[in-house]
Amino acid sequence: MKNGLLNLVSPLIAFLLWEICSRTGVFDIRFFPPPSDVLVHLFTVSPEEGIITDISASLYRIFFGYSTGVSAGIALGIAIGLSNRVRVAFYPIIALLYPIPKIAILPLIMLIFGIGDLSKIVVVFIGSFFLVLINTVHGVASISKIHHQVGQVYRIPRRNFVWRIILPGSLPAIFTGLKLAIGYSLVIVVAAEFSGADAGIGYLIWQSWETFSILSMYAGIFVIGALGFIFTFGLEFIEKRLLPWVQK
């Protein structure tokens, strides 16, 4: 992470401008409370209101949905990339299902899996699965023909070929998928928690809106932003560690 703390500059400037506009009355303070008030609220009032439970509920759903979704996406993506049979069997149906907005099928998923954790996990699973799958397929396709030939000429056994050539060769594209999917998982989980949930950050935001608790609502939004920031930069950090050979 070459830029280190520089990454914090643009968010901080945005907060500062917002703070000034709210304090000087440029913004209507009822809709745009100063961010410092939101932070104070987040660390003093929100824990009393049970924000920790909400955060853990959302993280739990993201964790299980995302980890299973990306694992399945990588596995099927590699299989599709390597085998024409698997591609013919699965790719058309994937091309058909991929563009359907996952939020559009939320009611259906709740119908099937109930309104508990499982339906949220399933929708996060589906969202991350497709994004990682599509990127993995592209990743396998991006491996140069020469590397396939080296594998053939030196008679690299199938197992080594997949684990040491195909998988690492696809990893840069897989990471693109992983980063897109983690952001998307946050979006989906919040949307899923808006309706039919008894805990979660989305639930918190929706409840706060209904009771016009603007500060609590902002607290929820801040938490989502912070999680997105941590997830994205966390993955970039891992990516740089894992892929020292990728030139940016």
In the complex, the residues that contact other proteins under the rule CB under 8 A are 144, 146-147, 149-150, 152-157, 160, 164-165, 168-169, 171, 243-245, 247
Angle between helices 117-142 and 106-113 (to 10 degrees): 120
Closer to other proteins by CB, 89 or 150: give it.
150
Closest distance to other proteins from the beta carbon of 248 (Å): 11
Chain-centre distance for alpha carbon 80: 23
Closer to other proteins by CB, 178 or 214: give it.
178
Closest distance to other proteins from the beta carbon of 41 (Å): 47
d(C-alpha 156, C-alpha 165), whole Å: 10
**Look-up of token digits 């400037």:** 13
Closer to other proteins by CB, 38 or 74: give it.
74
Q: Collect all residues with Cβ–Cβ distance below 8 Å to 91 and sequence separation of at least 6.
A: 80, 137
d(C-alpha 185, C-alpha 203), whole Å: 15
Closest distance to other proteins from the beta carbon of 152 (Å): 6
Neighbours of 98 (CB within 10 A): 13
Closer to other proteins by CB, 30 or 159: give it.
159
Closest distance to other proteins from the beta carbon of 156 (Å): 5
142-151 contacts, C-beta under 8 A, 24 or more apart: 142/169, 142/170, 142/173, 143/169, 143/170
Closest distance to other proteins from the beta carbon of 171 (Å): 7
Gap between the terminal Cα atoms of the chain: 12
Closer to other proteins by CB, 119 or 170: give it.
170
Closer to other proteins by CB, 30 or 155: give it.
155
Q: Collect all residues with Cβ–Cβ distance below 8 Å to 205 and sequence separation of at least 6.
A: 190, 194, 217, 220, 221
Closest distance to other proteins from the beta carbon of 138 (Å): 17
